Structure 1
Amino acid sequence: MASGLYRSANAMPDGVPPPQDGATLIGTSPIIDSTSPPPETAEGSAAGNSAIMAIGSLVSRGTGFLRTLMVTAAIGTFAVNDAYATALIIPQMVYEFLLGGVLTSVVVPVLVRRRKVDPDGGQAYAQRLLTLAALALGVATVLAIAAAPLLTAIYAGNRGDEYHNLVTDLAQLMLPIIFFSGLSALIAAVLNTRGHFAAPMWAPILNNLVIIAACALYIVVYGAKLVEPGDLSRGQILLLGGGTLLGIVVQVTGLVPALRKVGFRWRWRFDFRALGLRELGRLGGWMLCYVVVNSIGLIVLFNLLNQVDKKSAGPAIYNNVFLLLMMAHGIIAVSIITALMPRMSSAAADGRFGEMAADLSRTVRTVTAVLAPIAVCYAVLADPISVVLFDYGAAQGDAGAIAPVLLVAALALIPFSISQIFTFAFWALPDTRMPALINIPVVLLRILVQVLVFAAFSLSFLASGMMIGNAVSYIAAAVISARLLRPRIGRIGIGAMVNTFGRVLVAALGATLVGVLVMVLLPGDALGNQLLGFVEVVIGGAAIGGTYLGLAMLLRIREITEVVGMLRRRLGR
């Protein structure tokens, strides 16, 4: 139920999502069946897999963020970058239609089950699935390239012919991302269900490094200066669009050797009836409904964001801020979710709903407790963070347009992660129908809020207003999902969640007050001084983090005290 700029399988697409960077949520951990170790061992395994994925996600998303900084430094944060972001969303949304959402909600649970019950460990089934996907993705890519002008008209608003022409040119270069993103996601799913996590977590880094190199070459050849859409040469367009496409090609290439390592052999299989297409179609049909509704929301979002004038925050700035949210969500929440998805799927298949509910409750509480100080930092330190991260090259002087969007977006971080956790719980059952039905009123609410903001406020507030619509819709999604999950899996520990939420809120408010006080006492204006901005981020971040940790220990927030205790034991050793 996300509303961001999606990028298929990059470290930042993100899984569900991933903007220039967004969120495709791919990957699983080893399955747990009747021969699995006892619960405490399995729990440790899930924790270990979460840690591995957190490290990989940290590096992957870190390089993904550096990639975004390089794009911003090369082409700025306004018109040309808006066109780049709009062009990039087109292949990502076509991919989401074909496979993106279906992968996590349908394909991964089915691969887990076939891995358990098929005599060959699901090898032939996976080969058929890859064959069908490669053919469908190939045809879709060719059709999308031919329809690029129409797709541009759908997403690019009415910013003039030069802007539309640039979006179309970039989109035609980047539309093959559809094919390679699909292959990358499926290969990652096959590897994850066979217990291999390293390659899927690290391959996106190759993608990011290629795009970083392309942007560095752009700056060397053309300079880091702000240009208008109609002023870009064919060489500049080719370097931007072609470099982005080359990144995903290299990512897929980096995954192929890992297939042999886990004993999987590629073989074309055309006996698609053996896939159980009726079951996949039933589950995938509801997921398609989910994706269609999200796509309508994104079309509205992009058309609103593309109404801005030259110096107002548009798609590129919205994308950069959403990426900051996705970094925090991805490193913390996605690492936990992807490790527990097969575990919850296995528990649901065996009727062990009590275990599933316990995992769900613990995940929500842990994610909330860990993300809270990050949200406080985003809100209190919005100005210096914007300067430190984005005030470079062609984007120099634009931090003032970014900071208000980040401040508002901080409110959406925790609701977004919680809503995603509940959605994945439904998918683990597996049930794609209920999330699709929940998504309809949620997206309608988001669109309503965003349209009202567009009508009531100036264009300078537009991107911030879009984030308000996101936050409201995420809260609604989490509340509705929690109520509808209980009849399916029993009590999900609402009382324990509320208790943790209350304590986290107190600790977060205390950290906010201290952070604001520190910002008031520090001299100067961070928006006008990058060095001062860095100092404010370091001192303010330390004050917020230290205050939150101290209050969390005092309030006995278990999810924090357990982590601190574990670190103390390890340091003691």
Structure 2
Amino acid sequence: MRSGAIMAVGTLASRVTGFLRTSLLAAALGAGAIADAYNTANTVPFIIYDLLLGGVLTAVVVPLIVRARERDAAYGARYEQRLFTLAVLGLAVITAVTVLLGPVFIDVYGGSMHGSQRDLAVLFARLFAVQIFFLGVSAFSGAILNTRKRFAAPMWAPVLNNIVICTTALAFLLVTAGKVTPDSISGLQVGLLTAGTVGGMALQTLALWPSLRGSGFRWRPRLDFRKGELGQMGRMAVWTLAYVVITQIGFAITTRLANSAGVRGRAEHLGDVGYTPYFNAYQLFQLPYAIIGVSVITALLPRMSEHAAAGRLAEVRDDFSAGLRLCSVIILPAAGLMAMLGSEIIVVLLAHGQTTLANAHVIAEVLRMFAIALVPFAGYQLMLRVFYAMQDTRTPALISLAVVGTNIACALTVYRLLPADKIIVGIAGGFALAQTAGAAVSWVVLRRRLDGMDGRRVLGTYAKLAVALWPLIGFAYAVHAVVTAALGEGLLPGLLALAVGGAGGGALYLAFAKALRVGEVQTMVATIAGRLPGVRRG
């Protein structure tokens, strides 16, 4: 809980500034053709990183480093050096190849982009590819810090990235007059967006080095791998890469369909209904999971890896149960508030500048659909880490076939059946269904592996939280209905509804959860209160 709290504060700062970044970029670029080109191109570096390194870091590197250090501290330190050197060299090669293949990636993910929009997206894709190197070094550095039980710096470093991009968006607004399109954007504006986007990631990477040095890590390039080390990593990485490839195939298809929906929507005069509204809604949907879910998962993974290495599967089961129940305390009410106050959240955060009220309504529809996915998504992600802690990367890859297959089938179905302005809402619904399938299958498999999942306690906690959630939902919906009827829509009515509905609904939720004796809520409240100045501990 202490480690999770430290990371949650850092993640909260990161996500709050990330919200500001999303809001300012939406104000600067809008939700139309130029925003689709920017967001699609800026997604490519993260896709390539996930394909070739991201999953390996989580599923392979952290457990291997933990086990190497358990075997021998000096050997573990040398092993870290070898892995870090291999990662740096690999990242340099991957970055260069991605720059060359920029047009290919836009053809894959850009859907029906053509003309000046496609040209701009290709240019951005090539320029933004430099982020792959910094992103990989940053993630690898964070993984090393996590194995050394230093969680704060990796959670706080993204704040610097967000600040740089916020400044870039403001500067873009200052040098821009009127609406910018792919045909009218200037070289200065392209250079400004590129410098801010790439520079922010570079600063995020450099910010981790003081913490690395403070932890005792000194990088001395070496590639003197011992016999069997690369083979062990390769055997684990093969299935991890298979998992990532499968998930990215699903992402490529849904992104392409969303971009095609945007082109169709503009041609049919239905507004901006493409990838950018979907992208913005997804960023907001992830906030509760990122604040509490990622923090708890990151703190638990080294601990679960140690227990799994020692064969203490009962303790792995207990760690999972505690993490899932703790996550649910925040994630359930967050899903309820997103569903009831989604319109107000989007209007307050994004309906500014180039992003209109009509754009906000589209994003809010997608966000409400994503809210359904929040609980199964968090549970599925936590269960994946249990497999990784046991050095099993094969099972998650096989489960992902069912998850991605469901997602693709739903996306293709809604693309063919729904009007253009409803396609991205349907794709979000397919995502929710796929995450539910992944969570259900993972639960069944892990239940056999761990000789149970502490299901009675987990389901008991969820049942109590579900009861406590209904007063929040009712109150938030009532506030939404009253404020909308009395004051209409806009920034001030949205702020009022969020303040009253969020605070009042949250208070009702806590009161009912306490009355139902939900221990995880009491633990979290006590931990937060104990960290506040002037609050007595006891």
TM-score, normalised on structure 1?
0.88
| Cα displacement (A) at 1:342 | 0.5
Q: Measured at CA, do residues 565 and 145 of structure 1 come closer, stay the same or move farther in structure 2, by a change above 3 Å?
A: closer
Aligned to 2:405: 444
Q: Measured at CA, do residues 427 and 526 of structure 1 come closer, stay the same or move farther in structure 2, by a change above 3 Å?
A: farther
Q: Is the 8 A contact 2:22 2:350 kept in 1?
A: no
How many Å separate the matches in 1 of 2:282 and 2:28? 20
Aligned to 2:245: 292
How many Å separate the matches in 2 of 1:326 and 1:537? 18
| Cα displacement (A) at 1:205 | 1.4
| Cα displacement (A) at 1:294 | 0.7
Q: Measured at CA, do residues 354 and 208 of structure 1 come closer, stay the same or move farther in structure 2, by a change above 3 Å?
A: same
Q: Identity rate of aligned residues, in percent?
A: 39
| DSSP-derived class of the 1:394 partner | coil
Residue 336 in 1 paired to residue 296 in 2?
A: yes
| Cα displacement (A) at 1:396 | 3.3
Q: Measured at CA, do residues 391 and 523 of structure 1 come closer, stay the same or move farther in structure 2, by a change above 3 Å?
A: closer
Aligned to 2:355: 395
Query: For residues 1-30 of structure 1, what are the alpha-carbon distances to aligned partners after superposition, in whole Å with 9 as ceiling and x for unaligned?
Result: xxxxxxxxxxxxxxxxxxxxxxxxxxxxxx
Query: For residues 358-395 of structure 1, what are the alpha-carbon distances to aligned partners after superposition, in whole Å with 9 as ceiling and x for unaligned?
Result: 11112212212321111111111111111101011111
Alignment of structure 1 residues 366-385 onto 2, 5 Å: 366-385=326-345
Q: Which moved more, 1:193-202 or 1:74-83?
A: 193-202
Aligned to 1:516: 477
Structure 1 unaligned spans of 5+: 1-46
Q: Is the 8 A contact 1:524 1:532 kept in 2?
A: no
How many Å separate the matches in 1 of 2:147 and 2:83? 14
How many Å separate the matches in 1 of 2:93 and 2:388? 28
How many Å separate the matches in 1 of 2:202 and 2:524? 39
Aligned to 1:196: 150
Residue 554 in 1 paired to residue 515 in 2?
A: yes
Q: Is the 8 A contact 2:399 2:442 kept in 1?
A: yes
Q: Is the 8 A contact 2:483 2:493 kept in 1?
A: no
Q: Which moved more, 1:515-524 or 1:144-153?
A: 515-524
Aligned to 1:266: 219
Q: From 65, 89, 100, give the equivalent of 1:146.
A: 100
Code of the aligned partner of 2:309? A
Aligned to 2:465: 504
| Cα displacement (A) at 1:409 | 1.2
Code of the aligned partner of 1:342? P
How many Å separate the matches in 2 of 1:205 and 1:234? 28
Q: Which moved more, 1:457-466 or 1:503-512?
A: 503-512
| Cα displacement (A) at 1:460 | 1.0
Query: For residues 171-220 of structure 1, what are the alpha-carbon distances to aligned partners after superposition, in whole Å with 9 as ceiling and x for unaligned?
Result: 11100111111111111112222232332222221111111111111111
Aligned to 2:234: 281
Q: From 158, 180, 195, give the equivalent of 1:227.
A: 180
| Cα displacement (A) at 1:74 | 0.9
Code of the aligned partner of 2:291? I
| DSSP-derived class of the 1:347 partner | helix
Structure 2 unaligned spans of 5+: none
Q: Is the 8 A contact 1:162 1:230 kept in 2?
A: yes
Q: Is the 8 A contact 1:114 1:121 kept in 2?
A: yes
| Cα displacement (A) at 1:519 | 2.2
| Cα displacement (A) at 1:568 | 6.8
How many Å separate the matches in 2 of 1:484 and 1:362? 19
| DSSP-derived class of the 2:286 partner | helix
Residue 535 in 1 paired to residue 489 in 2?
A: no
Aligned to 1:3: none
| Cα displacement (A) at 1:565 | 5.2
Query: For residues 247-278 of structure 1, what are the alpha-carbon distances to aligned partners after superposition, in whole Å with 9 as ceiling and x for unaligned?
Result: 11111111222222222211111223457111
| Cα displacement (A) at 1:110 | 0.6
Code of the aligned partner of 1:229? P
| DSSP-derived class of the 2:183 partner | helix
Residue 73 in 1 paired to residue 27 in 2?
A: yes
How many Å separate the matches in 2 of 1:119 and 1:538? 51
Q: From 311, 315, 320, give the equivalent of 1:351.
A: 311
| DSSP-derived class of the 1:120 partner | helix
Code of the aligned partner of 1:235? L
Residue 58 in 1 paired to residue 16 in 2?
A: no
Residue 125 in 1 paired to residue 79 in 2?
A: yes
Q: From 161, 172, 191, give the equivalent of 2:115.
A: 161
| DSSP-derived class of the 2:311 partner | coil
Aligned to 1:324: 284
Alignment of structure 1 residues 450-465 onto 2, 5 Å: 450-465=411-426
Code of the aligned partner of 1:499? G
| DSSP-derived class of the 1:122 partner | helix
Code of the aligned partner of 1:65? F
Aligned to 2:395: 434
Q: Measured at CA, do residues 521 and 489 of structure 1 come closer, stay the same or move farther in structure 2, by a change above 3 Å?
A: same
Aligned to 1:415: 376
| DSSP-derived class of the 1:541 partner | helix
How many Å separate the matches in 1 of 2:529 and 2:17? 30
| Cα displacement (A) at 1:287 | 0.4
| Cα displacement (A) at 1:495 | 1.9
| Cα displacement (A) at 1:340 | 0.7
Code of the aligned partner of 1:378? M
Code of the aligned partner of 2:458? M
Query: For residues 490-545 of structure 1, what are the alpha-carbon distances to aligned partners after superposition, in whole Å with 9 as ceiling and x for unaligned?
Result: 21111222222222222222321222222223354776321111101111112221
What is the number of residues matched between the two proteins? Answer: 526
How many Å separate the matches in 1 of 2:234 and 2:119? 37
How many Å separate the matches in 2 of 1:526 and 1:269? 65
How many Å separate the matches in 2 of 1:159 and 1:97? 24
Residue 239 in 1 paired to residue 192 in 2?
A: yes
TM-score, normalised on structure 2?
0.94
Residue 85 in 1 paired to residue 45 in 2?
A: no
| Cα displacement (A) at 1:427 | 0.6
Code of the aligned partner of 1:99? L
Q: Is the 8 A contact 1:86 1:155 kept in 2?
A: yes
How many Å separate the matches in 2 of 1:208 and 1:301? 26
How many Å separate the matches in 1 of 2:526 and 2:4? 18
Q: Which moved more, 1:186-195 or 1:94-103?
A: 186-195
Q: Which moved more, 1:561-570 or 1:128-137?
A: 561-570
Q: Is the 8 A contact 1:405 1:467 kept in 2?
A: yes
